[in-house]
Amino acid sequence: MELEQVHRTRWDGYVDWRNRPAIRGTHGGMLAASFVLVVEVLENLAFLANGSNLVIYLSDYMHFSPSKSANDVTNFMGTSFLLALVGGFFSDAFFTTYHIYLISALVQFLGLVILTVQAREPSLKPPKCSPGSSSIPCQEVHGEKAAMLFLGLYLVALGVGGIKGSLPPHGAEQFDGSTLQGRTQRSTFFNYFVFCLSFGALIAVTLVVWIEDNKGWEWGFGISTLVIFLSIPIFLAGSTSYKIKLPSGSPLTTIFKVLVAASVNTYAIANMSISPSSPSQRSQTTIEEPAKAIETTELPSKSLKFLNKAVASKPLHPSLACTAQQVEEVKIVLKILPIFACTIMLNCCLAQLSTFSVQQAATMDTNLGSLKVPPASLPVFPVLFIMILAPIYDHLIIPFARRVTKSEMGISHLQRIGIGLVLSIIAMAVAALVEIKRKRVATNRGQLDETNPLPITFFWVAFQYSFLGSADLFSLAGLLEFFFTEAPASMRSLATSLSFASLAMGYYLSSVIVSIINDISGVVYNILSKTHGFSFTLGNDRINMDDDKYDDMDADEYDVNEK
Task: Collapse the DSSP code of 23 into the 3-class scheme (helix H, G, I; strand E, B; otherwise coil) and give the result.
Answer: strand
Residue 552 CB: number of other CB atoms within 10 A?
A: 10
Q: In terms of Cα–Cα distance, which of 71, 389, 40, 64 is closest to 228?
A: 40
165/103 Cα distance (integer angstroms): 12
pLDDT of residue 167: 93
Contact between 22 and 14 under an 8 Å Cβ cutoff? The reply is yes
Q: In terms of Cα–Cα distance, which of 511, 505, 515, 504 is closest to 157?
A: 504
146/125 Cα distance (integer angstroms): 8
What's the number of CA atoms in the CB half-sphere (13 Å) around residue 342? Answer: 14
For the entire predicted model, the pTM comes to: 0.78
- To which H or E segment does residue 366 belong? none
Q: In terms of Cα–Cα distance, which of 236, 220, 306, 257 is closest to 48?
A: 220
Amino acid at 241: S
Q: Which residue intervals of 83-139 are DSSP H helices? A: 84-93, 97-120
* Distance from chain centroid for Cα 279: 59
Task: Collapse the DSSP code of 450 into the 3-class scheme (helix H, G, I; strand E, B; otherwise coil) and give the result.
Answer: coil
DSSP state, residue 393: I
The CA–CA distances, whole Å, from 430 to 464, 522, 554 equal 6, 26, 30
Task: Collapse the DSSP code of 402 into the 3-class scheme (helix H, G, I; strand E, B; otherwise coil) and give the result.
Answer: helix
DSSP state, residue 395: I
pLDDT of residue 555: 41
pLDDT of residue 522: 63
pLDDT of residue 388: 87
Provide DSSP, 174-242: TS-TTSHHHHHHHHHHHHHHHHHHHHHHHHIIIIIHHHHHHT-HHHHHHHHHHHHHHHHHHHHHTGGG-
- To which H or E segment does residue 21 belong? strand 21-23
* Distance from chain centroid for Cα 5: 43
pLDDT of residue 355: 64
DSSP state, residue 19: S
Task: Collapse the DSSP code of 372 into the 3-class scheme (helix H, G, I; strand E, B; otherwise coil) and give the result.
Answer: strand
Give φ, ψ of 377 to 5 degrees: -90, 0
Report the greatest alpha carbon distance in the chain.
96
Residue 106 CB: number of other CB atoms within 10 A?
A: 15
172/214 Cα distance (integer angstroms): 39
Helix%, strand%, coil% for the chain, nearest 5:
75, 5, 25
49/190 Cα distance (integer angstroms): 22
Give φ, ψ of 19 to 5 degrees: 70, 25
Q: Who contacts 142 (Cβ-Cβ below 8 Å, separation ≥6)?
A: none
421/346 Cα distance (integer angstroms): 6
171/166 Cα distance (integer angstroms): 9
Instruction: Output the tens digit of pLDDT for each of the chain's 563 residues.
Output: 454 455 558 888 888 888 899 898 888 899 999 999 999 999 999 998 877 778 888 887 787 877 788 778 878 888 898 999 999 999 888 889 999 999 999 999 999 999 999 888 888 777 777 665 556 667 777 788 888 989 999 999 999 999 999 999 999 999 988 888 888 899 899 989 999 998 998 888 888 888 887 888 888 889 999 999 999 999 999 999 999 998 887 778 888 888 888 887 776 655 554 545 444 444 343 334 333 333 444 677 777 777 887 776 666 767 777 888 888 888 888 888 888 888 888 788 777 776 667 767 777 877 777 777 777 667 777 788 888 888 888 889 888 888 888 888 888 888 888 888 888 888 888 888 888 888 888 787 776 666 667 777 777 887 887 787 788 888 888 888 888 988 888 888 888 898 888 888 887 888 788 778 777 876 554 554 444 444 444 433 444 544 444 444 444 443 434 34
Amino acid at 253: T
pLDDT of residue 420: 86
Query: From the CA atom positions of the chain, what is the Rg in Å?
Result: 28
pLDDT of residue 536: 41
135/132 Cα distance (integer angstroms): 9
What's the number of CA atoms in the CB half-sphere (13 Å) around residue 396? Answer: 6
Residue 289 CB: number of other CB atoms within 10 A?
A: 10
Task: Collapse the DSSP code of 65 into the 3-class scheme (helix H, G, I; strand E, B; otherwise coil) and give the result.
Answer: coil
Task: Collapse the DSSP code of 341 into the 3-class scheme (helix H, G, I; strand E, B; otherwise coil) and give the result.
Answer: helix
Residue 426 CB: number of other CB atoms within 10 A?
A: 15
462/145 Cα distance (integer angstroms): 36
Q: For residue 511, with 0-12 CB atoms within 10 Å meaning exposed, 13-18 middle and 19 or more buried, which class applies?
A: buried
Q: Who contacts 276 (Cβ-Cβ below 8 Å, separation ≥6)?
A: none
The CA–CA distances, whole Å, from 541 to 221, 512, 517 equal 27, 16, 12
